[in-house]
Amino acid sequence: PTLTRQVEAALDLADLKSGQTLLELGCGDGKVVLAAAKRGVHVIGYELNPVLALIAWLRTRRHTRNVQIIWGNFWHRKLPPADAVFVFLLPKYMDKLNQKIEADRHKSVKLVTFAFTIPKREPDAVKDGVYLYFYS
């Protein structure tokens, strides 16, 4: 799980304003989704595990105007427009993620990753084990 300190670091690095959109790929129990929604950010969370998707939905149901939980595999869908993307993926998926962000982004986007970096790419900022990348 993403620790509270890293959730705050990720949201600080993303630097989203109220009404902007965060896309979380693999939202788990909804911890990051909930923290972002409390900041007034619109959040779309994808989760493959149906139990975790349900838990995320239950945790965030008070924020239905700002939160959408999608039970599904984000690898098989075109990513919706977003101002930032947050992930906590294993290293073996990071290059594939980089390619997906490049292919699916609609505009400039910030990618915030916890624990693992994008291969052959220097992060634009680092805070508490969280990495920020700009795609423009």
Residue 1 pLDDT more than 90? no
> Could you give the 3-state DSSP secondary structure of residue 113?
strand
> Could you give the 3-state DSSP secondary structure of residue 126?
strand
Residue 94, pLDDT score:
98
Residue 10, pLDDT score:
98
Q: How far apart are CA 2 and CA 9, in angstroms?
A: 11
Mean pLDDT (the chain, rounded): 97
pTM for the structure as a whole: 0.96
Express each pLDDT in 77-93 by its tens digit: 999 999 999 999 999 99
Residue 34 pLDDT more than 90? yes
Residue 73 pLDDT more than 90? yes
